[in-house]
Amino acid sequence: MSDALLSIDKLTKTYTTGSALLASGKTMIRAVDAVSFTIANGETLGLVGESGCGKSTLGRCVTRLLDVSSGSITLAGTDITRQRGAALRETRAGLQMIFQDPYASLNPRRRVRDIVAEPLIVHHRGTRRDIRDNVAALIQAVGLRSEHLDRFPHEFSGGQRQRVGIARALALSPKLIVADEPVSALDVSVQAQIINLLTDLKRERGIAFLFIAHDLGVVRQIADRVAVMYLGNIIELGATEQILAAPAHPYTEALISAVPVADPARAAHKTRIVLAGDPPSPANPPRGCPFHPRCGYATDICKTTKPALEVLNDGRFTACHHPRQG
């Protein structure tokens, strides 16, 4: 795809643990294992998976907060994988991030005005007066008021703080925002408000999102496409409704069966797939398909050969020898 805004190719992030001096004591952990995907202009890709599957690591690699081990990241036609210094700082203007914990992502010693103005000052966007007006407009765009600008983060609730974080991410009018579980630390009612805000911003400003979450219900509301991650690999990728209605990968199937249904009549007919055991340690992944030890449909081939992410008849991608659909 040449019209992609963001294109990730075989991105891998490995960590080394153990002694730095003794080579024998080292263990390689593949937190992200040769992941590839693209995001088009204005598109929202939801990235879901359980804790520790590497989705946050992937998000931080994309924003270059972590160095990539191998593979490439292309943003708007420019390879940013190994960018440094001034070029990287320029790239960052078009690539912002919203963090998970609104209590940790705002400097407790700075007033909201300074926090939101910082990106504009750093990138010399206008005179002092321009920046002042711009900051006031931004804070209103996220549903707060100018009176809030002279306050410190600790005077706000979690949802309000997250709005400040969103205003900061919007300040430079980025093409892409990586949102790392932006609502998982919030109350459910506040989650809905923030999701609505993000949906509005996406529609009005045409910003593309890489939306990381572990909650499928949240992803359903905002994502155009969904990528499901398991143990550092993308195992299924396709249109949101397609995947949520009829998952092809057994893991996705189990994940969706875990989403509670509000209607008791329907809930009675629902079969819950309960996975046995815990996800394997990424330091010691199973041979073959990473999911086979917990998979109800696994056969001999799953134990020896790792399935590639392949396109099915209905256009989605899945990495499974025995897909349930397509």
Partner 1 sequence: MSDATNPLVTDIAPPAPGYWATAGRKLIRDRAAIVSLAVLIIIALLCAAAPWYAQHIARTDPFQSNLSGTVIRHGKTVEVLAAANNPLHLGIEPIGPSWRLGPYMLGADDQGRDVAARLLYGGRNSLIISFISAGICLGLAAITGILSGYFGGWTDRIISWLLDALWAFPVFLLAISLSVVLIAHGIDIGPIRLDASSLALPITIIGIIYVPYVARPVRGLVIGLRQSEYVLAAIGIGGPAWRILWFDILPNVISSLVVFAPLIVALDLLTEAALSFLSIGVQPPAASWGTIIENGESLIYTRPIVAIAPGIAIVITVLALNILGDGLRDALDPRAKLRN
For the CB of residue 13, give the shortest distance to partner 1 in the complex, in Å.
16
Chain residues 167-186 in contact with partner 1, contact rule CB under 8 A: 168, 172
Letter for the amino acid at 42?
A: G
76: contact with partner 1 by CB under 8 A: no
* Among residues 96, 162, 242, 318, the one that binds partner 1 under rule CB under 8 A: 96
Q: Which two tokens stand for residue 246?
A: 């009829």
d(CA 197, CA 192): 9
E-assigned strand segments in 169-224: 176-180, 208-213
97: contact with partner 1 by CB under 8 A: yes
Q: Of 290, 303, 298, which is closest to residue 233 (Cα–Cα)?
A: 290
187: contact with partner 1 by CB under 8 A: no
For the CB of residue 326, give the shortest distance to partner 1 in the complex, in Å.
38
Chain residues 102-141 in contact with partner 1, contact rule CB under 8 A: 104-110, 114, 118-119, 122-123
For the CB of residue 96, give the shortest distance to partner 1 in the complex, in Å.
7
147: contact with partner 1 by CB under 8 A: yes
Sign of the C-alpha dihedral computed for residues 102, 104, 106 and 108 taken in this order: positive
CB contact at 8 A, 164 and 144: yes
CA-CA-CA-CA torsion for 85, 88, 89, 90, nearest 10 degrees?
Answer: 120
- Helices 128-141, 158-170: inter-axial angle, 10-degree rounding: 130
159: contact with partner 1 by CB under 8 A: yes
82: contact with partner 1 by CB under 8 A: no
For the CB of residue 214, give the shortest distance to partner 1 in the complex, in Å.
18
Q: Which two tokens stand for residue 87?
A: 């070029």
* Among residues 16, 19, 82, 90, the one that binds partner 1 under rule CB under 8 A: 90
Sign of the C-alpha dihedral computed for residues 308, 312, 318 and 320 taken in this order: negative
Q: Which residues contact partner 1 by CB under 8 A? A: 60, 63, 65, 88-93, 95-97, 99-101, 104-110, 114, 118-119, 122-123, 143-145, 147, 150-152, 154-155, 159-160, 163, 165, 168, 172, 193
